[in-house]
Structures are given as C-alpha cells and as structure tokens.
Amino acid sequence: MDESRQGEAIELPKGVSDNGKKLYLESYGCAMNFSDSEVVASILRDKGYTTTRNEEEADVVLINTCSIRENAEQRVRNRLTNFNKAKRKKPGMVVGILGCMAERLKKDLLEEEKIVDLVAGPDAYRDLPNLIEEVDGGQKAVNVLLSRDETYADINPVRLDNAGVTAFVSITRGCDNMCSFCVVPFTRGRERSRDPHTIVKECQDLFEKGYREVTLLGQNVDSYRWNMTSKGEIKDETKPTTNFAQLLEMVAHVNPLLRIRFSTSHPKDMTDDVLIVMAKYKNICNYIHLPVQSGNSNNLKRMNRGYTREWYMDRINAIKRIVPNCGISTDIISGFCGETEEEHQDTISLMKEVKYDLAYMYKYSERPKTLAERKFEDDVPEEVKQRRLEEIIELQMEHAYEINKQQLGKIEEVLVEKVSRRSEEQMVGRTDRNHKVIFDRKDKKIGEYVMVKITDCTRASLIGVIVE
C-alpha cells in the first residue's frame, strides 16, 4: 500500500512541559509503518514535543519509510529534496529517516543524502530523544540495532488520525518467513509476539475513547504466539500461552460494538480455529487479507512461500465453508524471476476461481540482499511484467465490479468513518466485508453504525440510502 500520511496535532499529557519544539511526522508504506509512527509520536510527546502539519515550521522532521519496493524508496528521496529547501530557511532543523529504509541502508543514508541527520531502525524508537540530542550537539546520529524482544507493549500510541473511529493495534513485530522477494526479515528482524493483556488493554482504551474498529497488525498474524516458541514449546510453565485464535476471542470480548479486523494472514499458517472464532463473534469482521503472490506452485516455491496452489485453495475453501459471505483480498506479484507465460496464466486462473473483493497488484521489484537477488536472475522483461500486470488489474476490476453488483438491494450495517470528499452532504463508511459505502448523511455522525440499503455501485464503491 503505497500511500503517505502526515500526523495530526497532539496534546501533551499532564505533567509534561512543552519543550518549544515541533515535530513533523510523515509515514509511507504499510499499516505497520503508520502504527509505528504513532509509537514514535508518543515517545516524543512524552519529551515535550508538539506536532505540526506544516513542515516549514518544524524543528524535527521524521520520515517513516518503506523498502518493500524500489518506487517507495524513490518517493522518500524525492521528499528529502523538498525538506532540503525547508532546512535552508531553518538551519537548525533535524531531518531523520525511520523504519525499513533506515534499517536497510543504515549509515549510507547519512552519506548519500546530505540532508539526513538521523537514522533510526524500527527497534530504535525509544532512543530517538537521545539521537536528536546528538544531532543538536553537532553529530550525525544512527541506531539501527534490531531487537529480539522489543514490542513497545508498554507504550500507549498517540492516535494521529483525528477522526477517532478506526485504529491499528500491533500484535507482533518482525517476521520469520524468508520469502525470497522480501526485505522485511532483514529490516524488521525476527518475529516476536506482544503480551496479549497489553493488546486487550489497548483495545479497551480505544473503545472508551470512542473508537469503534481496531485492526490487529502483524507481518503474519497467524503465527502470533505468546509464551511459546515457533515450535510450540512453552517458554514459561508458570504463565498461560496464547495463540492467534485465542487472542482474537479475547479482543472480541472487549465490547460487542468494537469491530475487529486483522492483517496480514499467511496461507501456510492459517488454521481453521481462527475461522471458527470469526464465525462465532459478530463483531469480528468477515474479511480476510490472504496474499497469494502467484497461482503457480513452482513460482511459489521460487518465492519460498511455504505452500502450494493446492494448499492455498484449501484455505480459501475453508474460509468460504466456515465463514460464509467473507470478503477476501490478496497481494499479487507479476513477473517474478523465471515466471513463464504458463505460470502467469495459472495466476489468472486462480483469480477466476477465487474472485477477490480487492487486490494489491505489483510488478516484481528486485530488492538488494534478498534471497531472490542472490539466487535468481530478474529475467522477465519490463514490458512483459507490465503487460501481465495490466491483465491482472483488468481481471480484478471485473471481479470487484461483479461482487459489488451482487450487493445491490441488500441492507448492510455500515460503520460511519468520515465525511465524503466530494460532498459534505454525504458520508463514507465500510461494511463488515470491508466494502466502502457512500450515502447521504442525514443526521448521522462519525462513529455511528447505520443500516444502509445498497442501490448502486461502481467498481470501487457501493452507493446506498439509510434505512431506519
């Protein structure tokens, strides 16, 4: 998800004095990055920093970055050019790079980009106040040490989305899956799970503050294990163990009015017990993001995904059997190393068999230091990658439109999330299945649940009217 987001203004907690410095925070990439930015905002808020949406008045500019694709890194480099102009007007400004790009390029960033003063990896955010002090003292500052136990579980993230309806809650950090195309294990370190009681407490706090939906986040939520090793062995016999299905049930009990989503699931680890819990609780949304990447088993083997096409389809069939009317989305890569035309057609045929509600679709982008870079040749011509991607996109748009048309005439419960950009007389919300719905606002407010009859649709949205 290549999008960017700037932080909203935040208030200082009681007992914390304003240090007179303003923080400008910008995030790129996945939901995990946006969640991490809220941790960063909390750490610096507790040191007296206030936030601003105007980069030119900031004393500290931090960019939380993504390395999953080359174009994501290029966007960050382009932004650094803009910050360079602001820094000329304000020489004391501190500019820092956080996150995956910081971890991947490390000290090179300080040398490559003259504007960068500070580099901090995903496990070094507690050290940010010290790193900023180092820069103020005339030094370049870097901390990219990865941790085996940092989860930021004791930090109550500052919510940067002022709408206050939906929120991300991180449940794991890092990743143990060594997909051959992916840099995440190198930029975020080994997988570790967060104490389930801190997760439940954070969700409870969010509900009490008016939030009505949480998304439990992890690189692979299905492998969430508290007090267990990756092999299922108990770490501490005096403490209970918790797997993802059990955690999901614990969060569902916070309040029946709190919707629960989760992302991302991994096909090799998704078990029926998670689906059974989903079917049991109305407030766990009928929506699963299950990346496939390719519909061909040989291609999946080169990707080191740990499953075959047949295994993936077994999981899809289990979802449809246990959680009827479940929305399913996916990730697809076109033109991975060695992909033949027949293998591409297998992806097309799998898409026709599943019919996804939504898909994130990309051309393969070789990333340095990955297994694919070391082991395989990036041998699919760019024009072939592009043509295959266009075929995938066109088919997905057909399926999305077909699924949306099937919703016509149905009455759906919608959580109101915001006012429509096109008209202040309309609101936007999402169904349990994660379909966006646009409707006339009447007297409804953000954060309310409303019943909406679907009367029309586009490929991207449903259109409806409120019914009492």
Contact between 121 and 187 (Cβ < 8 Å): yes
Contact between 267 and 311 (Cβ < 8 Å): yes
- CA distances 332 to 124, 356, 395, Å, are 32, 11, 12
Question: What's the full length of the chain, in residues?
Answer: 468
> For 279-288, what is the mean pLDDT?
98
Tell me the Ramachandran region of residue 189: left when phi exceeds 0, alpha when psi lies from -120 to 50, beta otherwise: left
CB contact set of 29 (below 8 Å; sequence gap of 6+): 1, 2, 3, 64, 65, 66, 68, 72, 99, 100
Distance CA 210, CA 202 (A): 13
Closest CA to 362 of 90, 32, 66: 66
Which pLDDT tens digit goes with each residue over 324-340?
A: 999 999 999 999 999 99
pLDDT for 101 equals: 86
Please say if the pLDDT value at position 1 is more than 50. no
> For 365-369, what is the mean pLDDT?
88
Instruction: Return the structure tokens found at 12.
Output: 């200082």
Name the percent of the chain lying above pLDDT 70.
95
DSSP 58: -
Q: Please state which of the ranges 83-92, 205-214, 272-281, 333-342 shows the lowest mean pLDDT.
A: 83-92
Please say if the pLDDT value at position 413 is more than 80. yes
Closest CA to 201 of 256, 243, 265, 253: 253
> For 236-250, what is the mean pLDDT?
92
Which pLDDT tens digit goes with each residue over 217-230?
A: 999 999 999 988 77
Please say if the pLDDT value at position 113 is more than 80. no
Contact between 403 and 354 (Cβ < 8 Å): no
Neighbour count for residue 108 (Cβ, 10 Å): 11
Please say if the pLDDT value at position 466 is more than 50. yes
Distance CA 297, CA 281 (A): 34
Backbone phi and psi for residue 71, each to the nearest 5 degrees, phi listed first: -65, -25
Helix (H, G, I), strand (E, B) or coil at 226: strand
Q: Please state which of the ranges 3-12, 277-286, 407-416 shows the lowest mean pLDDT.
A: 3-12
> For 145-168, what is the mean pLDDT?
86
| Helix residue ranges per DSSP H, 281-418 | 297-303, 309-322, 341-354, 371-375, 382-405
Q: Who wins on pLDDT, 109 or 302?
A: 302
- CA distances 314 to 278, 356, 436, Å, are 18, 15, 28
Contact between 244 and 287 (Cβ < 8 Å): no
pLDDT for 315 equals: 98
> For 245-271, what is the mean pLDDT?
97
Amino acid at 27: S
Please say if the pLDDT value at position 162 is more than 60. no
pLDDT band at 238 (very low <50, low <70, confident <90, very high): confident
Identify the CATH homologous superfamily for domain 3-143.
Methylthiotransferase, N-terminal domain (3.40.50.12160)
Please say if the pLDDT value at position 107 is more than 90. no
Between the two ends of the chain, the Cα-to-Cα distance in Å is 36
Contact between 244 and 223 (Cβ < 8 Å): yes
Q: Give the helix, strand, coil percentages of the chain, each rounded to 5.
A: 35, 25, 40
For residues 239, 241, 246, 251, the Cα torsion angle rounded to the nearest 10 degrees is 40
> For 6-29, what is the mean pLDDT?
74
> For 380-405, what is the mean pLDDT?
98
Residues forming a β-bridge with 226: 242
Which pLDDT tens digit goes with each residue over 116-130?
A: 899 999 999 999 999
Distance CA 259, CA 255 (A): 9
Q: Please state which of the ranges 111-125, 414-428, 453-467 shows the lowest mean pLDDT.
A: 111-125
> For 297-309, what is the mean pLDDT?
98
Q: What angle do CA 284, 285, 289 make, to 5 degrees?
A: 115
Q: Which CATH class is domain 411-466?
A: mainly beta
CB contact set of 37 (below 8 Å; sequence gap of 6+): 5, 7, 25, 27, 64, 98, 160
In 197-356, where do the E strands start and end?
213-217, 225-226, 242-243, 259-263, 287-289, 327-334
pLDDT for 100 equals: 85
pLDDT for 120 equals: 93
Query: What are the residue boundaries of the structural domains of the chain, listed by start?
Result: 3-143, 166-405, 411-466
Which pLDDT tens digit goes with each residue over 55-101?
A: 888 999 999 988 767 777 888 888 888 888 888 888 889 999 998 88
Q: Please state which of the ranges 223-227, 394-398, 433-437 shows the lowest mean pLDDT.
A: 223-227
Please say if the pLDDT value at position 2 is more than 60. no
Q: Does 166-405 match 3-143 at the fold level?
A: no
Q: Please state which of the ranges 37-41, 74-78, 210-214 shows the lowest mean pLDDT.
A: 74-78
- CA distances 156 to 32, 129, 199, 244, 276, Å, are 15, 17, 10, 21, 31
CB contact set of 434 (below 8 Å; sequence gap of 6+): 261, 285, 287, 327, 329, 357, 358
Q: Which residues of 17-55 are buried (b: 16+ CB within 10 A; e: fewer)?
A: eeeebbbbbbbbbbbbbbbbbbbbbbbbbbbebbbbeeb
Residue written as token pair 């689906």: 275
pLDDT for 19 equals: 82
Instruction: Return the structure tokens found at 40.
Output: 């960063």
Mean pLDDT for the chain overall: 91
pLDDT for 361 equals: 97
CATH 3.80.30.20 for domain 166-405:
yes
Please say if the pLDDT value at position 208 is more than 50. yes
Distance CA 319, CA 315 (A): 6
pTM for this entry: 0.89
Please say if the pLDDT value at position 3 is more than 50. no
Please say if the pLDDT value at position 21 is more than 80. yes
